[in-house]
Amino acid sequence: MTVAPATTALRVRTRPLRIDGPLLDVLPEGSGALSWVRGGEGVVGWGEAARFTTSGPERFAEADRWWRSVVDACSTRDEIRLPGTGPVAFASFTFDDASPGSVLVVPRVVVGRRGHRAWITEISPASEPETAPELPVPSPVRPDGRLRYADGQVSSHRYRAAVTEAVGRLRAGTLDKVVLAHDLLVHAEDPLDARFLLHGLAARYPTCWSFAVDGLVGATPELLLRLDGRTVESRVLAGTMWPDSEGLTAAEIGGTLFASAKDRREHAYAVDSLAASLAPLVCDLQVPEAPQVLTLPNVSHLASDVRARLDPARPASLLTLTGAVHPTAAVGGTPTPDATALITEIEGLDRGRYAGPVGWVDAGGGGEMGLALRCAELDGRTARLFAGCGIVADSDPDSEVREAAAKMRAVREALEG
């Protein structure tokens, strides 16, 4: 497919900024909040200077071509020159090729912080008069009022049935792992404020990446890819336990999870999947021999940090790399084509952008992409929450239902305040 280049040339100016409080505090009300923040660092944005939507199996390549055309047409003054300065687009892609809604949003204003340095970037059509951006006056972040819960497309009961079906297929030897998900609806008496959910998630999960793109809001513990110069990094998560899962205390979780053959096998599938997809595009690929345990307030995961370098003979952008590795076994299964076909057959859920790549890209083609987990799609007074679990042959359907509920706790508690 031929992608039309950007039709409007943009003027971009990045300058230093002093900001004392959290990045999320600068987001104005009703602005279409954009965020990628972890531990006080990252980028937030608001407004819209340009937008690109796409779908289909070529959506990552199409987004990359469009973004390159935007950058080529930009007139940029960047006084900082750090990752996240200059032209930036926030990105969110659907899990499935057939789902519409993959989007890149170029904001009007970006505020970022890395280490002790902070900045503000104004992005506007070159035809507009140039003005110096100012931070908006902070407005109260309001709670969402009383909440009411309802089944989504796939109830817990239907989810358990799908897991039972998947376990039967796995025991028959047709595939090794499949990731199944279900959803939950939350209805609020007042319009939902993305900033309220972001603040709640960032406070509870400071080691996760709190994200917001076009109404998809969450806090993901899983870094799909980071491209900084020639360095490629990924944090792979698979294998989960929580304090109530086997009558375990929080102190007992780590050792039990690390010793679990079922969880170690599930984790190995995810790591091998990512490494195999990356290998043709990188060099010096480093995969840990064993995972570590990542402990979060609601669950613990097995985690592996994978590193590599871009191959000089085959330079690639973050969006190109993302298209090559998605979906990994962490969100799809193993072998991936068979697992995604089974998801389509038995899950009964349109995932939309849940479990798809989400993050930001910069003018040099670098940036960060996570997996859209622990998230909700906000639409007026309704939030649609998602959670999924990796299913292997010895998975217990009742345990998987409880695991999904434990994962949904992150967003539920943040919405409830």
334, 175 contact by CB (below 8 A) = yes
The residues with which 309 forms a beta bridge, in sequence order, are: 231, 283
Q: What 3-state class would DSSP assign to 206?
A: coil
214, 32 contact by CB (below 8 A) = yes
CA atoms within 13 A on the CB side of 57: 0
25, 137 contact by CB (below 8 A) = no
169 Cβ contact partners less than 8 Å away, ≥ 6 residues apart:
175, 178, 342
Q: What 3-state class would DSSP assign to 353?
A: coil
- The position carrying tokens 């279409």 is 32
- Which of the residues 165, 222, 347, 377 is marked catalytic? 222
331, 95 contact by CB (below 8 A) = yes
Q: Which of 371, 370, 366 is closest to 85 using CA atoms? A: 366
354, 95 contact by CB (below 8 A) = yes
Q: Which of 95, 392, 358 is closest to 239 using CA atoms? A: 392
- Mark whether 407 is an active-site residue: no
251 Cβ contact partners less than 8 Å away, ≥ 6 residues apart:
none
- Which of the residues 62, 165, 177, 400 is marked catalytic? 177
Residues assigned a catalytic role: 177, 222
